Amino acid sequence: MAQQLTIAGKQLSSRFFLGTGRYPNPYVQNEAIRASEAEVLTFAIRRVNLETPGEDAILQHLDDNHSFTYLPNTSGAKTAEEAVRIARLAKASGLSDWIKVEISADEKTLLPDPVETLKATEILASEGFTVLPYTSDDPVLCKRLEEAGAAAVMPGGSPIGTGLGILNPYNLSLITEQAAVPVIVDAGLGSAMDVIQAMELGVDGVLMNTPVAKAKDPVKMALAMKHAINAGRLSYEAGRIPKKRYATASSGLPSFISY
């Protein structure tokens, strides 16, 4: 078995962080969540009724037999000030003190604003939030976010919803190599192959929504992604063989000689 993931002292058996939006209906949503075995669920705070979060259209359909860790996000915020305000509202409502900082200034690419993301992370971490910022795959910025108090960093493999996979595996490998906090790939993955590549680069987990929710069969895709995460992590922990220019026989020449 792969080792457990720990974020801010909380142990998680699953390395799959799953979004709750864009599913065809609540039944499919619940079945996909069940198949994924995800323990952390994420959703946009602006889509939740914070006055009565337990009765919200997104949250009320979740399976009551499971205890989830909620990771609300600040999607829609364009500045650190907006993100901080949204996070404080979520915490005051009793929803969660975990927060995914998501600040995008460009609506076409939805790429994260590095300056505003760093500002918001510093403020919210100082206020006791467990901050998981969505960021670009910049190793320097990821390190700065960690130093600012992020409990984990969440670089995108490629822009949100594109399904382009990991565009810069070199940068991602540098991020995992230098990080003293967990690294969760957030955004851009589209298939089990993308997930395995990310996990074999040494990331600690994967967050996704669209690749599961908008698949032809979201439940099957959730199951596929779960297995890909587990297989990729086990492969990383096991240690792959080095790549070589020429072949190496699995059995030496004497084994083919009979007397």
Q: Which residues are catalytic?
A: 100
Q: How far is CA 83 from CA 1, 107, 109, in A?
A: 38, 16, 19
| DSSP codes joined into one string, 107-127 | TTT--B-HHHHHHHHHHHHHT
Tokens representing 233? Answer: 């992590």
Tokens representing 62? Answer: 């979740």
- 76 annotated among ligand-binding-site residues: no
127/13 Cα distance (integer angstroms): 27
Tell me how far apart the terminal alpha carbons of the chain are, to the nearest angstrom.
44
- 209 annotated among ligand-binding-site residues: yes
Q: How far is CA 151 from CA 6, 110, 138, 172, in A?
A: 10, 23, 17, 18
- 25 annotated among ligand-binding-site residues: no
111/108 Cα distance (integer angstroms): 8
- 210 annotated among ligand-binding-site residues: yes
155/176 Cα distance (integer angstroms): 10
- 19 annotated among ligand-binding-site residues: no
Please give the annotated binding residues for 1-deoxy-D-xylulose 5-phosphate, written as ranges.
Answer: 161, 187-188, 209-210
Please give the annotated binding residues, written as ranges.
Answer: 161, 187-188, 209-210
